[in-house]
Amino acid sequence: MAELFGRVAIIGIGLIGSSIARALKENDVCREIVVGDINAAHGRRAEELGLCVAAHTDVAKAVDAADLVILCTPMSTYESIAERIAPALKQRAVVTDVGSVKQAAIKAVKPRLPSHARWIAGHPVAGTENSGPDAGFATLFKGRWCIVTPESDTDADAQAQVQAMWTAFGSNVVSMDAEHHDLVLAITSHLPHLIAYTIVGTATDLEMTLQSEVIKFSAGGFRDFTRIAASDPIMWRDVFLNNREAVLEMLQRFTEDLSHLQRAIRWGEGHKLEELFTRTRSIRRSIIEAKQA
């Protein structure tokens, strides 16, 4: 395809950042890539892997002359990174991110950028439980959704360019309100992760004799939770701290529903269990029909 950008700066070269670097190269989306990462070892590894022309531990250096800057770091770093890169941004540079909570991303980054910079928040709904520059791969975003959350003053060209990039990666791009995004992701992603972390934690607190058997017999259902609960700890800590309201709301609903089932088990009310279990089966069918399975 025709190059969408000259220089792209990727800040944070972990699973998502390094997947973006690989996808940018594989799809000829830009002329060159520069990496900014406070972890010098990750920057060097990115250079070794040929993911960039240069890597800097100073993010301000990394964004120099970049037409597009993509934040791929945990959300707790957004404020300080935005402050640090602001004076170094090229005129009319496009700035985007990949964070899992959009209202908080906007609040952390936007007010710190210079008025000439063009900000558009984004969130590719894709990932694995692995981390670091070696974990990424170019097809991570293929066939997956990427959500952009423009605001009333978002530059239309900037949005179109960022969307074109995700489309080039094979993503299905949708645009929605940041608040709505945070609510939808709270139930489809944040709550499932919280629950998976919890149950795996509950299992690790069992007596040692039981613990080894939990691992041994994990194929019974537990295994699926351990995969989710192996996701990046810092990234997920930041997700929960930044989407607190929506996560607590969904958690409240979940807890009520779980208490209802607990009571049904205690009192032997089989029909209540059967009713729910029959209903949930149809949701799976909908997902298979929507080709997200």
Could you say which residues in the range 204-263 bind a second copy, by CB under 8 A? 204-206, 210, 213-231, 233-234, 236-238, 240-241, 244, 247-248, 250-251, 253-255, 257-258, 261-262
- Minimum distance between the CB of residue 179 and a second copy, rounded to whole angstroms? 12
* Length, in residues, of the chain: 293
Q: Which is nearer to a second copy, 109 or 229 (CB)?
A: 229
Q: Which is nearer to a second copy, 113 or 126 (CB)?
A: 126
Handedness of CA 225, 104, 243, 173 (dihedral sign): negative
Residue 81 to residue 86: CA distance in whole angstroms: 8
* End-to-end CA, the chain: 30
Q: Which is nearer to a second copy, 157 or 257 (CB)?
A: 257
- Minimum distance between the CB of residue 16 and a second copy, rounded to whole angstroms? 13
Residue corresponding to tokens 């399975």:
293
Both structure tokens of 271: 């029909």
Bridge partner residues of 118 (DSSP): 94
Of the candidates 21, 181, 9, the one whose C-alpha atom is nearest the C-alpha of residue 84 is: 9
Q: Which is nearer to a second copy, 50 or 143 (CB)?
A: 143
Size of the residue set binding a second copy (CB under 8 A): 89
Sketch the per residue contact string, 140 through 179, with a second copy: x for CB under 8 A, - otherwise.
----xx-x--------------------------------
188 binds a second copy (CB under 8 A): yes
195 binds a second copy (CB under 8 A): yes
Q: What residues from 72 to 131 belong to the interface with a second copy (CB under 8 A)?
A: 76, 125-126, 129
Give CA 235 to chain center in angstroms: 8
Residue 265 to residue 108: CA distance in whole angstroms: 45
54 binds a second copy (CB under 8 A): no
Q: Which is nearer to a second copy, 2 or 283 (CB)?
A: 283
- Minimum distance between the CB of residue 107 and a second copy, rounded to whole angstroms? 15
Mention every residue, 6+ apart, whose C-beta is less than 8 A from residue 19: 136, 137, 138, 140, 141
Q: Which stretch binds a second copy (CB under 8 A): 9-17, 25-33, 44-52, 196-204?
A: 196-204
Both structure tokens of 51: 């993911």
Q: Which is nearer to a second copy, 6 or 233 (CB)?
A: 233
Residue 54 to residue 36: CA distance in whole angstroms: 9
Residue 201 to residue 61: CA distance in whole angstroms: 41
284 binds a second copy (CB under 8 A): yes
Q: Which is nearer to a second copy, 31 or 144 (CB)?
A: 144
Put the strands of the sheet holding 145-148 in their side by side order: 122-124, 145-148, 172-175
Both structure tokens of 236: 């997920």
- Minimum distance between the CB of residue 272 and a second copy, rounded to whole angstroms? 9
201 binds a second copy (CB under 8 A): yes
- Minimum distance between the CB of residue 288 and a second copy, rounded to whole angstroms? 9
